[in-house]
Structure 1
Amino acid sequence: MKNLLIKNAKLRYTNELTDILICDGIFQKIGKITDPPADTEIIDATGNLVTPPIIDPHVHLDAVLVAGILPRKNQTGTLLESIDIWSDWKPGLTKKMLKENARKVIDWYVANGVLRVRTHADCTDPTLVTVESLLELKEEVRDLIDIQVVAFPQNGIYSDPANLGLLEESIRMGVDVIGGAPHIEYTREDGVRDVETVFELAEKHDKLIDIHIDETGDPHSRFIEVMAKESINRHMGPRATGSHTTAMHNYDNDYAYKLIGNLAKANMNMIVNPSANLLLQSRMCGYPKPRGIARADEMLARGVNVSIGHDSVMDPWYSLGKACLLQQAFLMLHAGHMNGAEQIQQVFDMITTNSAKTLHLDNYGIAEGNQADLIIFDAATEDDILRLQSECTYVIRKGKIICQTTPAKRKLTYDAEPSYVDFKL
């Protein structure tokens, strides 16, 4: 394997430029490099920001890219109609279609600098074709991207007598994470059982937890408090993640304050999914419309680890998207009122280091001895990366360049001498 040297790299939280030497797929040295090995390829980062890869901690690769071929469209735009559409569609889903669509989106991820992904796999289909397909795909693309697969009971664990058995079979098949959906259950009591069952199974099988929880605008949906309790009592908080939790937006402030304190005490992880939840939630509220996103700023301020996910890419829940987490971060910055100087840094953390913690990753980050995965942006600061929706000019995986992007070149010709626009100061 060729050695690789990144010159004039700007790392986060520093104004100094440095060099990064990669040998045998590992970060060998970070600092001034004056005499690299003879067979070293050199890339000049020209002072632009160099970071670890972006992470998507929450997506549904089993459903991507089907929006254009669904026989029925989502007319209400609601979460519940999306689930009904998907339930009707599932019998026609084949492994070939699923894997081809997911594989295409993985290429989109790579081009966008995303090299770590957690995907949910609907395990309420008796065939378990989604689980089987995504576990196969995980192995097939491991040289490009790291994938965690969640067994996700889309229709609830207790809404059908067969669903618990399907969840347990998914665990035997080798999923990495166990999920739930308590707000989908028929009763509050079954929703509580849903959460407790996920924790029991995760403890028994030594798995991570990621539960779709309180994904509704209903302020009375409060299963996240059950998750916090289980995390505290079982000492499993760092291994547990609550996804969506959009009802939190509409909670009474006194209750939300108590809840966030318990989430911090539990040391849990939380994931917000801006694009999908801005469109799916609060459809019944009239005006003024709540934003339908969990209180990320308040959670971060009190020490809760919060990440940003894409959730859906051209599926019944969200018909847009291009697997770009910078888009999601840009939305979060606006919808969450997170444009303060420190908050912009936090938003960038939410698609990198915070997500690494959510996925329980080690060997992540630009540090000597770590696996050499990194991206070089076409901008020098996090502010400009988000403002410009910067391209990843280089994506490097295990010391190998796997994607190069040439940013757009805009030539103005109205004067005798042409000039160029890049929207930078």
Structure 2
Amino acid sequence: MITIRNARLLDGRIVDIGIEDERISCLGECRGNDELIDAEKKLVIPPYFNMHFHLDSAFTKAVNRSGTLWEGIRIWQDMRNKISEDEVIRNALTAVKLFVAYGTLWIRTHVDITERSFKLLRAINRVKEESKDIVDIQITAFPQDGIFTEKGNDELLRKALENGVDNVGLIPHNEISREDGFRSIKFAFELAKDYNKDVDGHVDETDDPNSRYLEVLVKETIENKWEGRVTAGHVTAMHSWDSAYRFRILPYVAKAGITVIPNPLINVVLQGRFDGYPKRRGMAPIKEMLNANINVALGHDCMMDPWYPLGIGNMLQVLFMAIHLDQMMGFEELISSINLITFNGAKAWRVKNYGIKIGNEADLLVTDADDVIDLIRFMSPPRFVIRKGKVIAKEGKYVLFKGKWEKLTSSTS
């Protein structure tokens, strides 16, 4: 049994937390001394979600001289053919361990299935299996080059589903014609229903205000009764849509139960590349979506790959960027912003028994922050990361992997 003394909860209460048989067994005054952790009246919260990431490209450390999305895609198209399966596994495991050390216990990753040998998918399937004791990973079959841009890509997507992926991906704005964009969304839902999978798409990741595939996604979600099982990643075109259109479409997004996943670290550097000054921020407007009752969760997207040369796996960095870009600086906005990487992610993932309640799985972060504002301000790693009642990471430096403690670096070398 673990007892965490003097834990400050999000509602301000200071309590003991008792853990027994992988679950929270006590909140209040808890007895037990098998293992004691003194939280010292610092914040103890549920762990983080990273709802959009690319483990297959992490730590490839490509040199993108222009820093643009398009050069990144060209680099990746060449690199994915040359990189070995073992390299992908090593790089991805490094990224996973960093995320865990910084408090993320759920990672949804997109894997490029238009790499026709499926070595990327095999690698990430192995990473998912090897790291299952410390993190939950979902794999989205991601048609990077589009479903109908090249003959046979649609069958690759189907084949990926037969190889155990968790979600159906799509990228309608990357199809050659608008008609193919529509067709790709319909096809993704056909597969989702055939295989009983969620839909997890890259949607309207462009500055083009005429890119409006989100409305098609809404229509297909409702018609197929897939409410609550669809996420739309990026939707950066929303930043360029006029206010009247957003006013019309956002209530339908909420009705469909679609979760929108902005990726602020990457969106802000890849979008607005055709702009002079002022430049568009290139991020779906979080406050406006929340006010429309849309579930919004955040993704880290990339880490030291052809699209983003930075990143240490800290979801607080993602949140820090988000609240700046969307000017979420009111006191209540700051406090509630933690939901973007916690409870909203749990809703999109459909995690049951999430949060610090008696009977829930004992997944906890013991931080060194007095409150949410300090947590975001300092962006420090948790002192302790607890998963299913077991300490699996400490101080952002140590992770328990395959029964052994490892000291981490932020590099694969």
C-alpha separation in 2, matches of 1:196 and 1:314: 33
- SS of 2:359's partner is coil
Aligned counterpart, 2:318 = 328
The answer to whether residue 204 in structure 2 is matched with residue 206 in structure 1 is no
The equivalent residue for 1:223 is: 213
Kept after mapping to 2: 8 A contact 1:332/1:347: no
Is 1:55 equivalent to 2:52 in the alignment?
Answer: no
Q: How does 1:66-77 map to 2 (within 5 A)?
A: 66-67=60-61, 70=62, 73-77=63-67
Q: Could you tell me whether the CA contact under 8 Å between 2:102 and 2:396 is conserved in 1?
A: no
- Per the alignment, in what secondary structure is the counterpart of residue 168 of structure 1? helix
Which of the numbers 88, 94, 116 marks the counterpart of 1:98?
88
Letter of the 1:386 partner, please give it. I
* Cα displacement string for residues 329-355 of structure 1 (whole angstroms, at most 9, x for unaligned residues): 000010011111121133210000001
Deviation at 1:25, TM superposition (A): 1.5
Worse-matched range after superposition: 354-363 or 105-114: 354-363
Contact 2:138 2:167 in 1 (8 A): yes
Residue 238 of structure 1: SS of its match in structure 2?
Answer: coil
The question of whether the paired residues in 2 share the 8 Å contact of 1:237 and 1:269 is answered with: no
For the Cα contact (< 8 Å) 1:375–1:396, is it kept in 2? Answer: yes
Task: Show structure 2 runs of 5+ residues with no match.
Answer: 398-413
The amino acid that maps onto 2:210 is: H
Given that residues 2 and 19 in structure 2 are in contact (C-alpha distance below 8 angstroms), is that contact kept between their aligned partners in structure 1? yes
2:27 counterpart of 1:30: yes
What is the one-letter code of the residue matched to 1:100?
Answer: R
SS in 2 for 1:368: coil
- Tell me whether 75-84 or 205-214 shows the greater mean CA deviation: 75-84
Q: Equivalences for 1:303-382 in 2 at 5 Å?
A: 303-382=293-372
Moved >4 Å (runs of 4+): none
**Partner residue, 1:419:** none
SS of the aligned residue for 1:211 comes to strand
Match of 1:20 in 2: 17
**Given the alignment of the two structures, is residue 41 of structure 1 paired with residue 35 of structure 2, yes or no?**
yes
Aligned to 1:273: 263
Q: Contact 1:192/1:226 (CA < 8 Å) preserved in 2?
A: yes
Structure 2 equivalent of residue 411 of structure 1: none
The CA distance in 2 between the partners of 1:16 and 1:125, in whole Å, is 51
SS at match of 1:289: coil
Of the structure 1 ranges 317-326 and 21-30, higher mean CA displacement relative to structure 2 is found in 21-30
Q: Distance in 1 between matches of 2:234 and 2:303?
A: 16
SS in structure 1 of the partner of residue 124 of structure 2: helix
Post-superposition CA distance 1:158-198 (Å, at most 9, x none): 00111111100100001111110111110101011111111
Would the aligned equivalents of 1:384 and 1:390 in 2 still touch at CA under 8 Å? no
Q: Quick one: which of 5, 8, 13 aligns to 2:3? A: 5
Corresponding residue for residue 414 of structure 1:
none
CA contact 2:167–2:200 (8 Å) conserved in 1:
yes
Give me the whole-angstrom Cα distance separating, in 1, the residues matched to 2:65 and 2:57: 18
Q: In structure 2, how many angstroms separate the alpha carbons of the residues matched to 1:260 and 1:300?
A: 10
- SS of the residue corresponding to residue 341 of structure 2 reads coil
Distance 2:350 2:222 in 1: 18
Q: Is 1:388 aligned with 2:382?
A: no
| Counterpart-to-counterpart distance in 1, 2:242 and 2:201 | 22
Correspondence 1:252-267 to 2 at 5 A:
252-267=242-257
- SS for the counterpart of 1:392 is coil
How far apart are the structure 2 equivalents of 1:317 and 1:234? 34
Residue matched to 2:108? 118
8 Å CA contact 1:376–1:395 kept in 2: the answer is yes
| TM-score, normalisation: structure 2 | 0.94
Please identify, of 290-299 and 338-347, the stretch whose mean Cα deviation from structure 2 is larger. Answer: 338-347
Q: CA RMSD in A?
A: 1.2
Q: Measure the CA separation in 2 of the matches of 1:344 and 1:194.
A: 38
1:64 aligns with 2:58: yes
How far did 1:26 drift?
Answer: 1.4
Greater relative CO, 1 or 2 (CA 8 Å, sep 6+) = 2
Match of 1:159 among 122, 146, 149: 149
- Give ranges in structure 1 of 5+ residues lacking alignment: 408-425
In 2, the alpha carbon distance for the partners of 1:192 and 1:282 equals 25
TM-superposed deviation, 1:237:
2.3
Paired with 1:129 and 1:94, the residues of 2 have a C-alpha distance of 8
Q: 1:76 deviation in Å?
A: 2.7
Task: Give 1:172's aligned amino acid.
Answer: E
Give the Cα separation in 1 of the matches to 2:394 and 2:78.
Answer: 40
Name the CA distance, whole Å, in 2 between partners of 1:146 and 1:245: 25
* Counterpart in the other structure of 2:409: none
8 Å CA contact retained: 2:264, 2:283:
yes
Cα deviation digits, residues 377-423 of structure 1 (max 9, x gap):
1102111100111331111112111122189xxxxxxxxxxxxxxxx
Counterpart code for 1:186:
I
| Match of residue 150 from structure 1 | 140
Kept in 2, the 8 Å contact 1:305–1:354? The answer is: yes
User: Aligned residue pairs: how many?
Assistant: 397
Q: Secondary structure at the match of 1:375?
A: strand
Q: What is the alpha-carbon distance in structure 1 between the residues aligned to residue 354 and residue 344 of structure 2? A: 11
Contact preservation (8 Å) 2:5, 2:16? yes
Please identify the structure whose Cα radius of gyration is greater.
1
Per the alignment, in what secondary structure is the counterpart of residue 351 of structure 2?
A: coil
